Amino acid sequence: MQTDVLKLDPEHPQPESIAQAAALLRAGEVVAFPTETVYGLGAIATNADAVARIFAAKGRPSTDPLIVHIADIEQIEAVTGDPWFTYAPAIRHLGETYWPGPLTLVLPRGRAIPPGVTAGLATVGVRMPRHPVALALIAATGAPIAAPSANTFGHTSPTTAQHVLDDLGGRIPLILDGGPCPVGIESTILDVTGDDPVLLRPGGIPVEDLELVLGVAIRRLPPRAIAAGLPAAAPGMLLSHYAPRAPLVVFEGRQPEAVWERVVADIQRRAAIGAQVGALAPVERAAELRAAGAAVVVELGPAADLAAAARTLFAGLRALDDAGVSVIIVASFPGEGLALALRDRLRRAAGGQIEKV
Ligand code: TXA
Ligand code: MG
């Protein structure tokens, strides 16, 4: 299959290109498109055959549920069966504060959504993305769009059209190219089906922000419970995910200076035995790591700018793979806010191989 790539103006997407993509979706095909978090691989969520093509193209196990995307808050009824005004005030407050944006709410699934979309679960993740291309595509299609990240299963998430092409070229008919994704890591997933909200995946909106809006503490699933594979609570939250091709070694610790000392020593040791070491690091550390012997250092922006790190993390891992490094070294992100999501992605990308400092 030939994969076409259509370049779009990310702020004012060309209506002809959107119409072309919407026609493919309505014909039961899959289309890759940019969202503010990562690129998604979409199909009409009410079409079971089209959704099956998503799983086939990605090599994704059928046990891993998809998120359904809407363009308008009233469209939630098409996904859950319940009109928006019937939801609890706290849920409406979340949706009205953070949609469109990188928040996914897990809600009871409506009958119009085939069980295959949600791995048979009685719940469904819903999100209204804020990328103009995603919103225009959903609106033009006139249906909710099921979409996982547009990478091969288990690989690093795609934040450019080229990343999608590298993974899925020849397997899907069309990629809408809206440039690099402005957030760069996936949505925050909050399960609001129980009495208390539960954070299923940290992401683009810090959980502390959600707590401020809700006025209650949000339970975090402990990383170890997620790693052990809690059956229904956190499907798809595999320990090995987002992985680059080269082995990734993540250094974690509360004392930044001690962590950097270990990183430098590790790079020196590996370079001395001939390894092609790649590293991800804030700009302030890049020169030091090059001096230690790192062959390639991808800069994540200033250390204090976690949003910049989120924007560059996945692209950085892919760039190091492309550069052919034999190992990737990175110091994790201590603290709160976006750091929680960055730590989560690094731990999974490393398959749980964490060096504690
Ligand atoms: O930012 C994002 O959320 C991106 C863009 C494309 O919107 N999408 C994304 O989808 O990250 P994906 O398939 O890579 O991750 C979906 C994950 C599943 O692996 C699962 O952990 C969780 O969302 N999930 C989805 N539906 C769920 C449900 N009903 N219950 C619990 N977890 C669910
Ligand atoms: Mg994914």
What are 99-130's pLDDT values in tens digits?
Answer: 999 999 999 999 999 999 999 999 999 999 99
Pocket of ligand 1 (CB under 6 A): 35, 37-38, 40, 64-67, 102, 104, 106, 118, 121, 123-125, 127, 129, 147-149, 186-187, 189, 200-201, 234-237
Ligand nearest to the CA of 238: 1
pLDDT at 353: 83
What are 247-293's pLDDT values in tens digits?
Answer: 999 999 999 999 999 999 999 999 999 999 999 999 999 999 999 99
Residue 152 and residue 169: Cα distance in Å, rounded? 10
Average pLDDT over residues 3-31: 98
56-60, 188-192, 241-245: range with lowest mean pLDDT: 241-245
pLDDT at 227: 47
What are 19-78's pLDDT values in tens digits?
Answer: 999 999 999 999 999 999 999 999 999 999 999 999 999 999 999 999 999 999 999 999
Average pLDDT over residues 223-246: 65
Report which ligand 1 atom has the smallest distance to the Cα of 121: 29
Strand partners, 249: 329
The average confidence (pLDDT) of the chain is: 95
Average pLDDT over residues 229-243: 64
Q: Rg of the Cα trace of the chain?
A: 20
Average pLDDT over residues 226-242: 59
Q: Report the residue count for the chain.
A: 357
User: Strand, helix or coil at 70?
Assistant: coil
Ligand nearest to the CA of 191: 1
What are 165-183's pLDDT values in tens digits?
Answer: 999 999 999 999 999 999 9
Residue 290 and residue 293: Cα distance in Å, rounded? 5
Residue 241 pLDDT class (50, 70, 90 cuts): confident
pLDDT at 239 over 80: no
User: Strand, helix or coil at 326?
Assistant: coil
| Best residue for ligand 1 mutational test, from 105, 189, 193, 313 (most atoms within 8 Å of Cβ) | 189
**DSSP E strand stretches across 192-244:** 198-201, 219-220
